[in-house]
Amino acid sequence: MRFWNRFLKNKMAVAGGLVVAALFAVSLFAPYLAPCDPNEIDLKQVLAPPSAKHLLGTDPLGRDVLSRMIWGARISMKVGFVATGIAILIGAILGGVAGYFGRWVDALIMRFVDIMLCFPTFFLILAVIAILEPSIWNIMIIIGLTGWMGITRLVRADFISLKEREFIRAARATGAGDLRIIIRHLYPNAMASILVAATLGVAGAILTESALSFLGIGVQPPTPSWGNILTAGKDNIDIAWWLSLYPGLAILITVLGYNLLGEAIRDSLDPRLRR
């Protein structure tokens, strides 16, 4: 109740939560909300401006932009959650092991993290996708496998702080083993940081997927994605402004909503920020 009271007092948090909830609803009910088949080609309506028939206009193949954006929301949410789930799983395990055991284990894991951080993440993704076949599953896996380093550092710092607390010493005194202490005591107390990192990670994954699709190496046509709608907008920016405006706003509002939600969760769960 205290968490919800603090959360609901933050107007920006409520706004971010509403944006995320709306995205969930649109993704879940995309087949019912989309007015047209997102892949239906109508050569008589090529690059038609917004109208009563096509509220957000059409693309170079006469496909309804609103329908493609609604289905694109489902793709973006899927990529965001799967990629972030992979990153959280890897980062939480490595960070927990490094923070709890310390010494050479910590040094080995953190040096590997430092090596990974030396590579520009986006260009590393581009290099891997250039080798593999560009598909939605490859995109999700690659984004997840290149986004765990920050979470590892975050969880490691939490574990280093938590493992010296009195309740951990009490658990050791009662004969609890390392695995029990890590799973039953340390991870639940580090969950606030993990939850915030996951929320912010979804926004980053959606932004990365949109950028890759914009470059033509992400989600491949005819599958609708906000990024490949933007690509069509780039090619027709002088005569079809709606192809750039609406997907760009969707990406902006989505990323902003997740960032606001993540900051609000952090402020509501962190006892040091309570007023």
| Residue 51 near residue 65 (C-beta atoms within 8 A) | no
Structure tokens at 86: 């992979």
Whether residue 45 lies inside any domain: the answer is no
Whether residue 40 lies inside any domain: the answer is no
What is the reported pLDDT for 109?
A: 92
The model's confidence at residue 3, banded by pLDDT at 50, 70 and 90, is low
Structure tokens at 230: 């933007």
The whole-number average pLDDT for the span 212-226 is 83
| Residue 136 near residue 219 (C-beta atoms within 8 A) | yes
Domain count, the chain: 1
Mean confidence (pLDDT) of the chain: 85
The least confident of 117-126, 189-198, 228-237 is 117-126
Please state the pTM of the whole predicted model.
Answer: 0.86
pLDDT in tens, 160-195: 888 888 888 888 888 878 888 888 888 888 888 888
The whole-number average pLDDT for the span 46-58 is 87
The model's confidence at residue 90, banded by pLDDT at 50, 70 and 90, is very high
Range of 70's domain?
A: 2-30+58-273
Whether residue 159 lies inside any domain: the answer is yes
> Is the pLDDT score of 273 beyond 60?
no
What is the reported pLDDT for 214?
A: 85
Q: Is 251 helix (H, G, I), strand (E, B) or coil?
A: helix
Q: Which amino acid is at 136?
A: I
For the chain, how far is it from start to end, CA to CA, in angstroms?
15
> Is the pLDDT score of 107 beyond 70?
yes
Q: Report the alpha-carbon distance of residue 141 to residue 145 in Å, rounded.
A: 6
3-state DSSP helix/strand/coil % of the chain, to nearest 5: 75, 0, 25
The model's confidence at residue 133, banded by pLDDT at 50, 70 and 90, is confident
> Is the pLDDT score of 28 beyond 80?
yes
| Residue 275 near residue 5 (C-beta atoms within 8 A) | no
What is the reported pLDDT for 221?
A: 79
Whether residue 143 lies inside any domain: the answer is yes
Whether residue 169 lies inside any domain: the answer is yes
Q: Which amino acid is at 41?
A: I
Q: Is 128 helix (H, G, I), strand (E, B) or coil?
A: helix
Whether residue 44 lies inside any domain: the answer is no
**3 vs 155, more confident:** 155
| Residue 169 near residue 187 (C-beta atoms within 8 A) | no
What is the reported pLDDT for 1?
A: 66
| Residue 87 near residue 147 (C-beta atoms within 8 A) | yes
What is the reported pLDDT for 4?
A: 67
Whether residue 42 lies inside any domain: the answer is no
H-type helices in 65-148, by residue range? 65-101, 103-118, 121-131, 136-145
Q: Report the alpha-carbon distance of residue 8 to residue 24 in Å, rounded.
A: 20
Structure tokens at 116: 């990974």
The whole-number average pLDDT for the span 104-120 is 88
**C-alpha to C-alpha distances, 10 to 14, 56, 201, 265, nearest whole angstrom:** 6, 33, 21, 10
The whole-number average pLDDT for the span 201-223 is 85
**Residue 153 maps to which CATH number?**
1.10.3720.10
| Residue 255 near residue 203 (C-beta atoms within 8 A) | yes
> Is the pLDDT score of 153 beyond 60?
yes
**C-alpha to C-alpha distances, 46 to 49, 69, 109, 233, 242, nearest whole angstrom:** 9, 17, 54, 13, 13
The whole-number average pLDDT for the span 111-124 is 84
The b/e string for 181-207 (b: 16+ C-beta within 10 A; e otherwise) is bbeebbbeebebbbebbbbbbbbbbbb
Q: Which amino acid is at 80?
A: G
> Is the pLDDT score of 2 beyond 90?
no
Structure tokens at 4: 């919800």
What is the reported pLDDT for 7?
A: 67
| Residue 184 near residue 234 (C-beta atoms within 8 A) | no
The model's confidence at residue 249, banded by pLDDT at 50, 70 and 90, is very high
The model's confidence at residue 86, banded by pLDDT at 50, 70 and 90, is very high
Whether residue 37 lies inside any domain: the answer is no
